[in-house]
Structure 1
């Protein structure tokens, strides 16, 4: 009996662990915006928030409202987040393949915006993930801008700004991260259309 209980606990935990560590993009294309069937607006909004919270930290949210008197779009925006690298298996904001390798070798940040629009047939869910590349004034540990040592014996003081660390000038927009958009849409669809228990 105890072995059966331990097996069931392990199986449930392993399934959750498998969900957390899965970075693969979806095998089939999900339309963006995604059309969902009619359901309670609060239930759909909770599923959207719960899904996006697995990927990013939420900055602002305005829930969707669909009643007889009015229909309001729901909008959720996240904070910028530096992309997870190959060794950060628990981070889901970088999909497998090119995206996770790029986030490992470059400083990439992402921000997501999710818009939920009521329609006649149900809801339209649109996910937009913007990706930016860090722009620095030089590369780390390079000799291209290194200060040469003086030979005259004079004392040179080192400030923190004189260290060979690159300084961030800004961020270069890289467009949309469609593989992550597809993954988030697939998760929203799976949660919103799952049969209730």
Structure 2
């Protein structure tokens, strides 16, 4: 029995040492990554609380930011005064996602969202709500994303138009537009990345003071 125990003690380091070295190098790799790469931005809460400001000023900032991303379909301005307190809301029209060839558009965030909008038919719309809370406000941004559901791919070899073989003349006016037809849209949930960008834009405009301008001589 003592000889078996001795053999086991001699064999054990053969698999323990590689495991320890692997864990050590993995830990060093994580440390090196943290030292050479900046920490990711902390996400802002959504809804987020805004400080007390005149309702006209806050509403103009919200509308101006939303207009940078989408076309506004309808809006209800916020009211937060002694006479009336009313939630404000902005609803936008659907907009087809911008591709990597449209860097000037802001409705698709860089990375996965922009690449997905390049290779898929994706549309988005935003609903921004501003709720008075005392002298301040609660801001909520919801961006819905949908995926197109066509009846077939764009360059499919099959067709929906039949070919007649009975000698009947076919008028050119009856020519069928045989492109893909949209059956509907598949909800993909909310676009959290775009929501974060819009919330950050609105929050920054309201909380960060304008830079003081120098005196003109």
TM-score, structure 1 length as denominator? 0.79
Q: What residue in structure 1 maps to residue 149 of structure 2?
A: 135
Q: Is it true that 1:61 corresponds to 2:75 in the alignment?
A: yes
Q: What residue in structure 1 maps to residue 203 of structure 2?
A: 189
Partner SS, residue 142 of structure 2: strand
Q: 1:193 to 1:156 in 2, by over 3 A?
A: same
Deviation at 1:162, TM superposition (A): 3.1
Deviation at 1:120, TM superposition (A): 2.7
| Counterparts of 1:161 and 1:173, CA distance in 2 | 34
Residue correspondences, number: 172
Do the aligned partners of 2:129 and 2:139 also contact (CA within 8 Å) in 1?
yes
For structure 2, the residue ranges without an aligned partner over 5 or more in a row are 1-39, 213-217
Q: What residue in structure 2 maps to residue 34 of structure 1?
A: 48
| Counterparts of 2:179 and 2:120, CA distance in 1 | 15
More helix by share: 2
Q: Is it true that 1:78 corresponds to 2:92 in the alignment?
A: yes
| Counterparts of 1:42 and 1:173, CA distance in 2 | 34
Q: 1:160 to 1:105 in 2, by over 3 A?
A: farther
Partner SS, residue 54 of structure 1: helix
Q: What residue in structure 2 maps to residue 11 of structure 1?
A: none
After superposition, the CA RMSD in angstroms is 2.1
For structure 1, the residue ranges without an aligned partner over 5 or more in a row are 1-25
| Larger Rg belongs to | 2
**Greater RCO, CA 8 A, separation 6+:** 1
| Counterparts of 1:160 and 1:75, CA distance in 2 | 47
| Counterparts of 2:69 and 2:135, CA distance in 1 | 28
Deviation at 1:69, TM superposition (A): 2.5
Do the aligned partners of 1:141 and 1:164 also contact (CA within 8 Å) in 2?
no
Q: What residue in structure 2 maps to residue 177 of structure 1?
A: 191
TM-score, structure 2 length as denominator? 0.72
Pick the aligned partner of 2:102 from 88, 99, 110. 88
